[in-house]
Amino acid sequence: DVKVTQSSRYLVKRTGEKVFLECVQDMDHENMFWYRQDPGLGLRLIYFSYDVKMKEKGDIPEGYSVSREKKERFSLILESASTNQTSMYLCASSLRVDSGGGQGTQYFGPGTRLTVL
Amino acid sequence: EDQVTQSPEALRLQEGESSSLNCSYTVSGLRGLFWYRQDPGKGPEFLFTLYSAGEEKEKERLKATLTKKESFLHITAPKPEDSATYLCAVQLLAYSGAGSYQLTFGKGTKLSVIP
């Protein structure tokens, strides 16, 4: 089974702090993704990575950065946390091509509920 | 603008009362459509991928179908443990290269099954 783990289930930080969210997958997936999920807005893509040291902006990258130094690990960084970054953060990973020939079913981690005070 | 719309937003069913959830999309070209189940406070759990109109996939009480403009998730004789939010997501042909891996999600249908 695919396993995606996230470093914390719950996190409380103060405004202005630098925050690191870590995600690890154990299935040798090429692609990794960071989303945030907010009531009424659904899942929105922040950043994704298709290879080590490679990254692409998603729909809402402002205020975030990412790091992928190893294939299995993808970190989301909030350079200076703000209250509007209070949210559920979800990491996902996928193969480039599924066994069925499709392009990469995404498998999600359990999420990190971040509160910025 | 490409959009994914799920309806209804919320659905309450009696145990055993079959129904369908809808996911309609207005996208220029569909590479694949995905269904996920999400329990409160947890990450989405993958259910199905559909690639072409007419395709159907089944798993226990769930069956997903795909047409050129929408997908349905049919729930037959649901049980309370089927209560969850069901998410639909599309992968677009418009994106190439690394972007082709992106998913665009709908806002979900919250299903409650009452014993």
Q: Which domains does chain B have, with CATH numbers?
A: 3-114 (2.60.40.10)
B103 and A56: CB-CB below 8 Å? Answer: no
B43 and A110: CB-CB below 8 Å? Answer: yes
The rounded distance, in Å, linking the Cα atoms of A33 and A39 is: 20
Average pLDDT, integer, range A95-116: 81
Chain segment A42-87, per-residue pLDDT in tens: 999 999 998 898 999 999 999 999 999 999 999 999 999 999 999 9
Contacts of A97 in chain B (CB under 8 A): none
List C-alpha distances in Å: A83 to A8, A14, B24. 19, 8, 33
The answer to whether residue A95 scores a pLDDT higher than 60 is yes
Whether chain B has a CB inside 8 Å of the CB on A36: the answer is no
Nearest CA in chain A to B87: A42
List C-alpha distances in Å: A106 to A80, B8, B113. 29, 24, 27
Give which of A108, A113, A114 to mutate to test B binding, by max B Cβ within 10 Å: A108
Residue ranges per structural domain of chain A: 4-97
Contacts of A98 in chain B (CB under 8 A): 49
Chain segment B35-70, per-residue pLDDT in tens: 999 999 999 999 999 988 999 999 999 999 999 899
Percent of chain A residues past pLDDT 70, beyond the cut: 92
- Pairing, β A87-94 against β A107-108: antiparallel
Of 3.40.640.10, 2.60.40.10, 3.40.50.300, 2.40.37.10, which CATH number belongs to A4-97?
2.60.40.10
Chain segment B68-99, per-residue pLDDT in tens: 899 999 999 999 999 999 999 998 776 666 66
